[in-house]
Amino acid sequence: MLRRYPQRKIFLTVLCIVLLLLSCGAQASEENEIPVKNMVTMVDLGADKCIPCKLMAPILEKLESEYQGKAAIIFIDVWKDSEQAQQFGIRSIPTQIFFDKSGQERYRHVGFMEEKAIKKQLDLLLAI
């Protein structure tokens, strides 16, 4: 039956691929939503080549595993993704922005931020 209607087979294949791509795109945008929905979120806006940002990288990795499931720790390289820098209105890097579970910005810091200070902000927001 498909031999008689090769266009139909091609159409159905293309339609399936398009639907699959659209559903993946919807999931990706929800996963990449900043701040993360219903979760305390810390966004660190910096760059891979920025010295203070490099110093913070191991701290952020440690905190990401320590707060897994409780808070989202997100790093954005603003030199690679300048739209994000504009979205958050930053003027210098690194900048850390802390959001509560409802997505409201609660605290902003510019410059290197020590692990102890980051933990303090995260714990305050988790307690709300």
Reduced to 3 states (helix: H, G, I; strand: E, B; else coil), residue 72 is strand
CB-based contact 45:93 (threshold 8 Å): yes
Among the residues of 1-114, which ranges form H helices?
A: 6-31, 51-66, 82-88
**C-alpha dihedral sign at 108, 109, 115, 121:** negative
Pick the catalytic residue from 50, 110, 124, 126. 50
Q: Which amino acid is at 117?
A: A
The 8-class DSSP code of residue 90 comes to -
50 included as an active-site residue: yes
Pick the catalytic residue from 36, 43, 53, 56. 53
**Hey, which residues are catalytic here?**
50, 53
